[in-house]
Amino acid sequence: MFDIDVNGTVYTVEEDLDLLDWLRQKLRLTSVKNGCGEGVCGACTVLVDGWVRRACQLSTAKVAGRKLVTVEGLPERQKEIFARAFAKAGAVQCGFCTPGMVICAKALLDWNPDPTAQEIREAIRHNICRCTGYVKIEQAIALAARVLRGEDGLVDFTKTRAITL
C-alpha cells in the first residue's frame, strides 16, 4: 500500500496499477491522453515531482510517495493563460496533444520563465502533434511565458475564445 499525491490530493493505492489507466479511469483525469501507450507520443505527459514523465511508462508503485500534476491541477491562472495563449496562437486543432504540450510548457516555464525559441522547441521535442506543425505551439508557449511574466497584453481575455484542455 502506498500514497500518491495527485494535484494536491493524496490517494492510497493498494495495487501496482498502470499509472495512465489509474489516472484516467479511477481519478477521471482525462486530460492525460493515451496516444500510443508505448512512450512515444507524449500525450500522457504528467509532472512527477516537477519532472516531465510519461504516465504510460509508469505504474502506481513507481510513483509511490511522489507528487503528480496534470493539467487539471494547474493553478487556475496558469490554466487560463495556457488555454487563451494556445487559442490565440492557433495552436489547437484536434487538441489531443495539447495537455501534454502544456505540461511540458509548464515544466519549462517553472524552471525558466524567459526561454529562448530554441529552449521552447527542445521542451516539446519528444511530443508528437499530427496537426499543427509545431510552430504555433511554440508561439503559444512563448506568448504564455510573456503573459505569465506580466510583459504582454496580447491575450485579450475579452476577445479570445475560451477552450477546455
Binding site for ligand FES (CB under 6 A): 34-37, 39-44, 54, 56, 92-97, 129-132
Closer to ligand FES at the Cβ: 45 or 78? 45
Q: How far is the CB of 76 from ligand FES (least distance, A)?
A: 23
Q: Which residue, 10 or 51, is less far from ligand FES as judged by CB? A: 51
- CA 146 to CA 153: how far, in whole Å? 9
All three cell numbers of 4: 500518491
**CB of 109: closest distance to ligand FES in angstroms?**
19
Cβ 87 to ligand FES, closest distance in Å? 12
Residue 14 near residue 1 (C-beta atoms within 8 A): yes
Alpha-carbon gap, residue 26 to 20, rounded angstroms: 10
Shortest distance in whole angstroms from residue 129 CB to ligand FES: 3
Shortest gap between Cβ of 134 and ligand FES (angstroms)?
9
User: What is the dihedral angle through the alpha carbons of 53, 56, 57, 60, rounded to the nearest 10 degrees?
Assistant: 90
| CB of 102 or CB of 147, closer to ligand FES | 102
Q: Which one, 7 or 34, has the nearer CB to ligand FES?
A: 34
In the DSSP assignment, the letter for residue 22 is: I
Cβ neighbors of 6 (< 8 A, separation 6 or more) are: 23, 27, 29, 68, 69, 70, 73
With respect to ligand FES, which residue has the nearer C-beta, 17 or 40?
A: 40
CA distance 53 to 102: 13
